[in-house]
Chain A
Amino acid sequence: MIAKLAFGNVRKSLRDFAVYFATVALGVAVFYAFNTIADQADFLSGDASGIVASIGGIMRGLTVFLALVLGFLMVYANNFLVRRRKRELGLYQMLGMRRSQVSAVLALETLISGIGAFACGLVLGVLLSQLLVFVTAALFHDTITAFSFRFSPDAAWFTLECFALMFAVMLLFNMRALRRVRLVDLMEADRVNEEVKLRSLPASVVVFLVGAVLIGVSYARLLHDGLPVAGFEGEAGRAFCITTGMVCAGTVAVFYALSGFLVSLMQRVPRVYWRGLNMLTLRQLNSRVNTASGSMAAISMILFLAITAVTTGVSVCSVFTSTIEEHNPYDASVDVWYFDPDSPSSLQSLPLTSDGQVAPGYGASTEEHDVVQMLADAGYDLSSVADYNVLELREASGLAERPSASFDEMTRVTGVALPASVVGMSSDGGIQVAGVSEFNALRSFLGLDPIELGEDEYAMACDMGEGLRDFYSQVMCAGYTVTLAGRDLVPSAVGVIDDASSALSNCIVGSNPGYFIVPDDIAAQAPCASTYINVRYKDGMSEEAGGLMNELADLQTGDIFKEGQTTFAYIGNVIQKEESWSAMNSMTGIVSYMAVYIGFVLVVSCAAILAIQQLCATTDAQHSWRLLWELGCPRKLVYRCLLAQTLVYFLLPLVVALAHSMVALSVVRDVVEIFGAFDITTAAISNGALFVAVYGAYLFASYRLSRGMVNATMGSAGRLSA
């Protein structure tokens, strides 16, 4: 009997369940598909296979997080559906069913719809995962080595666990909702004139304006202050927290009062308000948004986070992909960093080496050393397997009483503001210098023309983004003079160099925050801070050379560079081009997957909540639609009223989220600009289009479904009084 009831109910409320069912099925499909990524490693060759396997672990962790989000939204949606059936549940109890039996009906319904959705979702997920194999391969620029149709019991089991847990929690909430209500309330839930929680219109206007002002001020604050790059402690961090609080409060206030505000506003225009069903549209929205304002604000904030996170991630990745070639002009590069063993300050707060000694810190050596020769003496002969170039960066601070080669001095003298991307960096640190002939040697090593530099001139090189480059350009245009070793150097017409020669060494992102190119005799007087050995493998020697690089990478703090008993330098970084590429690939892969995964689940959850609320509101207002029909209202008017409500209901949170995102992204852009030109327009738009399509599909579906419902209510000629 109970089973019969439960089956009947599921079938009867198929339309209410449809959206919910589809969302759960989509959730299952996506969870399964993304959790098979680890298994896809088998299809791929070598390098990519390892990366993909590691992505699998991340996906699993992410799935747990997303299951929490989706679970919360499912519980909410289900609660909503059950609350609407108060009368029916009351009737069961009136007819003598025990509460436990009613609970059993509910549990069984949940189970039936859950199993159905899980089965559908799994089928969809299996298909999706086959597709995902090709996407993975494309992402890692790899070819599929051994493709076969396959099913991953592991991923399926994990997905099942997640959803079983969700259903259990959902059931618990249902039981609680059922236990808390009295029978008389259940039966009267359907009484004719429902008390509508309405807020006074003048108050709405005030609250709305306050909310709008709060949002506006927080926008202005954020745009002015920027992101707290230095962390959440301190003045900037506190200011950021206040701004965040303001925007949250403002969003809630706006949603809380918007519909009331709109009603007040439209009442001022009688020709619009008293026309067709306009007043009904506004009033119905008002009554709904009043009760749903909390969830709408939450949905808006979730959408905002999803849009911002996904756009930032995808855009940063697209920057990496587009600039990796110019940031990695060499087959490999070896950085040698000097330090000053006599200066205790440079030894503070440094990492310990494996043998427990304090690792050396940055410093400079006044002695000239041929580090390549020293490597060769230690048995690592670069010249046998590769061509190389050596560039030495020198500390300029010792060449002047007060260092004119520093950010602080530059901004103080010229008044040019530092770009947001470096505001958090230590701005008192000096800017280093390199001799012009070494720099020209590097350029000819790269096949570039040398630069011309006068006796008393300087140029600059920098590859960390437009913001920083423009800063230097402006400083140089302002005629900024650098005083080194008693000589005044003026800006050269060469300006700021940002081509391949500006990269210090191989790196995923830019490696050079900027240095001065000065006449050789000045450079020679400065102590050496670091040496960059950039290497091009000889033909046919790439395997040997690569092996040598691996050995060097393992050395790190080894004591090759010695002067007497004192070690004066160590190998800081050894980066081969392939390593950069594979690091970039794995990062792009992870971010792309995470972006799609997080974005999709969040968007679907939000859209599902809105759709279910919309459908329930339509059902709840059934007697209104019926009455309109009896009063002789043309269907076209009712459809228009329904469409307007659906549009406002779906688009409002999205519009607010987009506005928030646009402001946030413009600030984020300033910070991540250091990686290169931040371009939202490419990959992010394709992602955005996907999400808008999903969101739009939910919008369209809920409009069509509620239109069908209204049609059924209006068309059937039944009893006159409802």
Chain B
Amino acid sequence: MAAVLEVRNLEKVYAGRGASTRALAGVSLSAEKGDFVGIMGASGSGKTTLLNCIATIDAPTSGTVLINGQDVTKLKSRALADFRREELGFVFQNSNLLDTLTCRENIALPLTIGRVPAGEISARIMAMASTLGIEGILNKFPYQVSGGQRQRVAAARAMIGQPKLVLADEPTGALDSKNAKLLLECFEMLNKQLDATILMVTHDSFAASYCKRVVFIRDGRVFTEVVRGDATRKQFFDDIMRVVAVIGGDETDDR
């Protein structure tokens, strides 16, 4: 199976005055179609920088990012916009929905920007909404619905354009445990039913346990990788917790 994502020797140096910070020090990882990869690491470990470089909204200092075989670090800014729109989907920590648009319109945004015919838009939204169980709130505004519902709307927006790769940055970060569970189950379902490839940054071990495998980042390098395989979610969670304990208890403490 062809790799949807191929990251090779990614480096990112933030040059400051005098001192420079090496956020990424040669990260390599890959994901195949239908993969659900978690990226874990302490604050400052470089996991968000990695995600931004993959998302093409930050440029790496060196190394390559191949998405569907295309090197995105070589693309020009205008082509990048098209690329993001057509190949990528995003879910952010604070859902980042537009306040002035209804949930339906928020989900439709990537399609209208991409000039999808109006007739098709409506049908695709309904299909996506019923998968995620948000049909009832489509005509509401973001401030009228709960945080969990907002995140599911954001997930719908990320998926509506049928992207090759969905990038999620701490999607459960602002949710209570019940809503977090709901959202993660949605991700799992999207991954299974629609064969979506998902890359999720998190520092919550519970969230990570929904992934098929988890890559640990430490000081800008890949520290280790844990694969779920046929293990139950509970077993996988325990595996993750063991690695977290090795890396250092920081991230479990700050929650």
Q: How far is the CA of A277 from the CA of B88 in the complex (A)?
A: 19
List of A residues within 8 angstroms of B98 by Cβ = 280, 283, 624, 627
Per-residue CB proximity of B122-158 to A under 8 Å, as 1/0? 1000000000000000000111000000100000000
CB distance from B131 to the nearest CB of A (A): 20
Contact indicator B143/A194 (Cβ below 8 Å): yes
CB distance from A589 to the nearest CB of B (A): 51
Per-residue CB proximity of A619-635 to B under 8 Å, as 1/0? 00001100111111111
Query: At the interface, yes or no: A425 with Cβ under 8 Å from chain B?
Result: no
Q: How far is the CA of A632 from the CA of B85 in the complex (A)?
A: 4
Closest to B144 in A: A195
List of B residues within 8 angstroms of A277 by Cβ = 112-113
List of A residues within 8 angstroms of B170 by Cβ = 721
List of A residues within 8 angstroms of B142 by Cβ = 193
From B49-57, B182-190, B215-223, the one touching the partner chain is: B49-57
7 nearest A-B residue pairs (beta carbon) = A632-B85, A632-B84, A274-B118, A270-B118, A283-B100, A721-B92, A717-B58
| B81, B82, B94, B119: most-surrounded residue (chain A CB, <10 A) | B81
Query: At the interface, yes or no: A210 with Cβ under 8 Å from chain B?
Result: no
Contact indicator A278/B112 (Cβ below 8 Å): yes
Contact indicator B109/A196 (Cβ below 8 Å): no
Query: At the interface, yes or no: B78 with Cβ under 8 Å from chain A?
Result: yes
Query: At the interface, yes or no: B4 with Cβ under 8 Å from chain A?
Result: no
Query: At the interface, yes or no: B200 with Cβ under 8 Å from chain A?
Result: no
List of B residues within 8 angstroms of A633 by Cβ = 81, 85, 113
Query: At the interface, yes or no: B96 with Cβ under 8 Å from chain A?
Result: yes
Closest to B170 in A: A721
Contact indicator A287/B100 (Cβ below 8 Å): yes
List of A residues within 8 angstroms of B109 by Cβ = 280, 628, 631
Chain B interfacial residues counted at CB < 8 A: 46
Contact indicator B100/A721 (Cβ below 8 Å): no
* CB contact under 8 A between A631 and B112, given known A279-B105, A623-B96, A721-B94: no
CB distance from B138 to the nearest CB of A (A): 14
| A192, A195, A719: most-surrounded residue (chain B CB, <10 A) | A192
Q: How far is the CA of A194 from the CA of B58 in the complex (A)?
A: 28
Chain A interfacial residues counted at CB < 8 A: 38
Q: How far is the CA of A632 from the CA of B88 in the complex (A)?
A: 9
Q: Scan residues 241-299 of chain A and give those whose CB is less than 8 A from a CB of chain B.
A: 270-271, 273-280, 283-284, 286-287
Q: Scan residues 701-721 of chain A and give those whose CB is less than 8 A from a CB of chain B.
A: 717-721
CB distance from B87 to the nearest CB of A (A): 9
Q: How far is the CA of A194 from the CA of B94 in the complex (A)?
A: 13
Further pairs besides A275-B115, A721-B96: 9, Cβ < 8 Å:
A270-B119, A278-B112, A632-B80, A632-B82, A632-B85, A632-B113, A637-B113, A720-B48, A721-B169
Which residues of A pack against B, CB within 8 Å?
192-196, 198, 270-271, 273-280, 283-284, 286-287, 623-624, 627-635, 637, 717-722
Contact indicator B112/A275 (Cβ below 8 Å): yes
Per-residue CB proximity of B106-123 to A under 8 Å, as 1/0? 001111110100110110
List of A residues within 8 angstroms of B83 by Cβ = 632
Contact indicator A274/B108 (Cβ below 8 Å): yes
Q: How far is the CA of A198 from the CA of B80 in the complex (A)?
A: 35
List of B residues within 8 angstroms of A717 by Cβ = 52, 57-59
Contact indicator B143/A196 (Cβ below 8 Å): yes
Q: How far is the CA of A624 from the CA of B109 in the complex (A)?
A: 12
Q: How far is the CA of A637 from the CA of B78 in the complex (A)?
A: 12
Query: At the interface, yes or no: B99 with Cβ under 8 Å from chain A?
Result: yes
Q: How far is the CA of A274 from the CA of B5 in the complex (A)?
A: 32
Q: How far is the CA of A632 from the CA of B72 in the complex (A)?
A: 14
* CB contact under 8 A between A198 and B141, given known A271-B118, A276-B113, A277-B113: yes
CB distance from A621 to the nearest CB of B (A): 8
Contact indicator B169/A720 (Cβ below 8 Å): yes
Contact indicator A720/B99 (Cβ below 8 Å): no
Contact indicator B113/A720 (Cβ below 8 Å): no
Contact indicator A274/B112 (Cβ below 8 Å): yes
* CB contact under 8 A between A630 and B57, given known A276-B112, A624-B98, A719-B52: yes
Q: How far is the CA of A182 from the CA of B119 in the complex (A)?
A: 48
Q: How far is the CA of A195 from the CA of B81 in the complex (A)?
A: 30
| B57, B85, B109: most-surrounded residue (chain A CB, <10 A) | B57
Q: How far is the CA of A562 from the CA of B21 in the complex (A)?
A: 111
Query: At the interface, yes or no: B101 with Cβ under 8 Å from chain A?
Result: yes
Q: How many A-B contacts at CB < 8 Å in the complex?
A: 119
Q: How far is the CA of A270 from the CA of B121 in the complex (A)?
A: 10
Q: How far is the CA of A273 from the CA of B118 in the complex (A)?
A: 8
Q: How far is the CA of A76 from the CA of B113 in the complex (A)?
A: 37
CB distance from A628 to the nearest CB of B (A): 8
Q: Scan residues 8-66 of chain B and give those whose CB is less than 8 A from a CB of chain A.
A: 48, 51-52, 55, 57-59
List of A residues within 8 angstroms of B67 by Cβ = none
Q: How far is the CA of A271 from the CA of B115 in the complex (A)?
A: 10
Contact indicator A631/B90 (Cβ below 8 Å): yes
| B80, B96, B108, B150: most-surrounded residue (chain A CB, <10 A) | B96
Per-residue CB proximity of B159-174 to A under 8 Å, as 1/0? 0000000010110000
Q: How far is the CA of A376 from the CA of B109 in the complex (A)?
A: 94
Contact indicator A196/B141 (Cβ below 8 Å): yes
List of A residues within 8 angstroms of B96 by Cβ = 192, 623, 627, 721-722
List of A residues within 8 angstroms of B90 by Cβ = 630-631, 720
Q: How far is the CA of A280 from the CA of B211 in the complex (A)?
A: 35
List of A residues within 8 angstroms of B55 by Cβ = 630, 720
Q: How far is the CA of A284 from the CA of B105 in the complex (A)?
A: 12
List of B residues within 8 angstroms of A284 by Cβ = 100
Closest to B78 in A: A634
Query: At the interface, yes or no: B93 with Cβ under 8 Å from chain A?
Result: yes
Q: How far is the CA of A280 from the CA of B86 in the complex (A)?
A: 20
Query: At the interface, yes or no: B97 with Cβ under 8 Å from chain A?
Result: yes
- Cβ-neighbour of A719 out of B48, B85, B108, B111 (below 8 A): B48
CB distance from B94 to the nearest CB of A (A): 5
| Sample of 24 A–B contacts (CB below 8 Å) | A192-B94, A193-B97, A193-B99, A193-B143, A193-B150, A196-B100, A196-B141, A274-B121, A277-B113, A278-B112, A279-B108, A280-B101, A283-B98, A283-B101, A287-B99, A631-B85, A631-B109, A632-B83, A637-B113, A718-B57, A719-B52, A721-B96, A721-B169, A722-B94
CB distance from A507 to the nearest CB of B (A): 62
Contact indicator A631/B113 (Cβ below 8 Å): yes
Q: How far is the CA of A553 from the CA of B143 in the complex (A)?
A: 79
CB distance from B242 to the nearest CB of A (A): 29
List of A residues within 8 angstroms of B92 by Cβ = 720-722
* CB contact under 8 A between A275 and B118, given known A193-B99, A198-B141, A631-B109: yes
| A286, A627, A634: most-surrounded residue (chain B CB, <10 A) | A627
Q: How far is the CA of A719 from the CA of B88 in the complex (A)?
A: 17
List of B residues within 8 angstroms of A722 by Cβ = 92, 94, 96
List of A residues within 8 angstroms of B78 by Cβ = 634
Contact indicator B86/A632 (Cβ below 8 Å): yes
Q: How far is the CA of A302 from the CA of B58 in the complex (A)?
A: 49
List of B residues within 8 angstroms of A279 by Cβ = 101, 105, 108, 112
| A279, A283, A623, A720: most-surrounded residue (chain B CB, <10 A) | A720
Q: How far is the CA of A287 from the CA of B101 in the complex (A)?
A: 10
Q: How far is the CA of A717 from the CA of B57 in the complex (A)?
A: 5
Contact indicator A634/B81 (Cβ below 8 Å): yes
List of B residues within 8 angstroms of A623 by Cβ = 96
List of B residues within 8 angstroms of A287 by Cβ = 99-100
Contact indicator B108/A630 (Cβ below 8 Å): no
CB distance from A204 to the nearest CB of B (A): 15
Contact indicator A280/B118 (Cβ below 8 Å): no
Contact indicator A632/B81 (Cβ below 8 Å): yes
Q: How far is the CA of A340 from the CA of B228 in the complex (A)?
A: 120
Contact indicator A631/B52 (Cβ below 8 Å): no
| A629, A635, A717: most-surrounded residue (chain B CB, <10 A) | A717
Q: How far is the CA of A632 from the CA of B82 in the complex (A)?
A: 6
CB distance from A55 to the nearest CB of B (A): 51
Contact indicator B51/A283 (Cβ below 8 Å): no
- Cβ-neighbour of A630 out of B59, B84, B94, B95 (below 8 A): B84
| B55, B111, B113, B118: most-surrounded residue (chain A CB, <10 A) | B113
